[in-house]
Amino acid sequence: MAGVAPSGSPKQGEWMKGKLVGSGSFGTVHLAMSKSTGGLFVVKSAHSRAEFAALENEVEILKNLEPSPYTVQYLGSERDGDDLNVLMEYMAGGSLADIAEKFGGSLQEDVVRLYTKEILKGLKYLHGNGIVHCDLKCKNVLLGSSGDIKLADFGCARRVEDLKNKCLMKKKNNKSLEHVSGTPLWMAPEVLRNEKLDFAADIWSLGCTVIEMTTGRPPWGASNYDSNPMAVLLKIACGDEIPQFPTHFSKEGLDFLRRCLERDSRKRWTCEELLRHPFISRDSSETTPPSSSKDTASSPVCVLGISSFEGAYDLDEPESPEGNDFSVRNPFTCCKDGRKGSEMQRHGEECGLCSSQNWITIRS
């Protein structure tokens, strides 16, 4: 087994794999323990070509980033026969989706405000390094035991420079851009139309994630989606609506959402502007975060609290029973040229964009 790991991280033979704690379109996630220190971390493993592609992309993104208090730490990667193992920081609190479920199904506005501020700092860091996350949602935001928030799952992430180069090449060859990545209900309209993918796409997804935290439900609600999901995606991509805002949100919160969920991507606020919005910049003494320290390691050194870790790394919806690769051609690239909805729906059914049971992450 050959491995590549930063100095001080567990190396081959120095750690042992524990129980399965999550799975998704990227592969599987197991709890792991360092034999030399007893410290805990997680191991994401890929077993198929599609899973390899997502994990390799995540490794490529994270290993070229300086360690940040706002993104999960990459500890190294190893090849084990036909499998790829990626060692990642363990976040004891699990995902924000898990937290919302454990605290009544949704989060109070003061907590949403705190978490949103930390997510924005993470997005600002990524955007400052030329990276679009592309799959921001509650399942991909993790919580440490001391209240620290970190962005996770970079299998869909893209570098803006790479996107520009690919777009130029594909346009030159008269081909579709084909850079759709993310989870459909959280994706920006222009991304679903396959027209554009840049930092503004993450801002739209942020708005959707705030709604998800506040309501405990996916953006765009849940009624009739299982029966006709393509109609919903067509509405997102080509309609003029935006997701329904929480009815109990403050005026500041509602205005914040309007700045995020602007259908014209050119009018969406940037991370820097949103960090100055009153919803975020309110005096910190009014709402004190669980911990202001970003220097404390979030990975526990004992097995206490593992029971609360169950499901924490189900970062994506389950794969289809057939195990199909969900990298697809976008069905909405021509939605403005007069094609009828029924034709769009048939195309979507053929490409397998949606699961009848769960929304999945598209990897391309």
* DSSP states of 252-296: HHHHHHHHH--SSGGGSPPHHHHHTSHHHHS-TTTS--S---SSS
CA distance 67 to 350: 41
**Kind plus residue range of the DSSP H or E element containing 46:** strand 40-46
Return the half-sphere exposure (C-beta side, CA atoms, 13 A cut-off) of residue 67: 11
CA distance 322 to 324: 5
**313 CA to centre of own chain:** 12
Length of the chain: 364
Torsion of CA 99, 228, 322, 320, to 10 degrees: -10
| DSSP-assigned letter for residue 163 | H
- Parallel/antiparallel/unpaired status of strands 27-34 and 15-24: antiparallel
Q: Supply the residues annotated as catalytic.
A: 135
Q: Residues 6 or more apart from 251 whose CB is under 8 A from it?
A: none
Question: Are 208 and 186 a contacting pair, CB within 8 Å?
Answer: yes
CA distance 180 to 363: 7
| DSSP-assigned letter for residue 191 | H
Residue 210 three-state SS: helix
**127 CA to centre of own chain:** 14
Return the half-sphere exposure (C-beta side, CA atoms, 13 A cut-off) of residue 338: 0
Question: By C-alpha distance, which of 47, 1, 40 is closest to 25?
Answer: 47
| DSSP-assigned letter for residue 245 | P
